[in-house]
Amino acid sequence: MKKSLLCVGSIAFDDLEMPSGSYKNVLGGAATYSALAASLLTSVRLVGIVGTDFDEANLQMLRDRGVDTEGVERASGKTFRWHGRYAPDLMSRTSLDTQLNVFADFRPKIPASYKQTPYVLLGNIHPALQIEVLDQVERPKLVAADTMNFWISGEPKILARC
């Protein structure tokens, strides 16, 4: 029997400048991509926040891949947006614009049906929010935390608690 993964983090729209062309309003976000990848191996429970501009068809696509979206909150305002340009070899990228929008006030709320999920992936969110998630789940077997230099250098004490 498959064990579930709880995936908490960003759900976004990306505008991408790639060597192959420019692409606008691409479904993005660390939690989105992690949930889609993990859905190939196990059932996934997704927690994130989207704005009123987020088309229901995107959530349905996730559901069609077996991702449980009960934990996706819809808030008034726009969904998190990122605009970036990738290098010709795709090995690096430059952020051109970041608009946190509803993600700026994101406080993960873990549904009761998710609290006993044995495996947890804490997406790249503020370490204090990662700790709030851990306070809401019941004795997970394994926790993986995604982070970046911004949090490592800016919040080392909080990050060490994850």
pLDDT digits (tens, 9 = 90+) for 29-60: 999 999 999 999 999 999 999 999 999 999 99
Report how far residue 131's alpha carbon sits from residue 108's, in angstroms, rounded to the nearest whole number.
10
Q: pTM of the full predicted structure?
A: 0.91
Helix, strand or coil for residue 47? strand
Report how far residue 139's alpha carbon sits from residue 111's, in angstroms, rounded to the nearest whole number.
15
Sequence-ordered strand ranges (E) for 10-156 = 12-18, 21-28, 44-50, 67-74, 80-86, 93-99, 119-122, 142-145
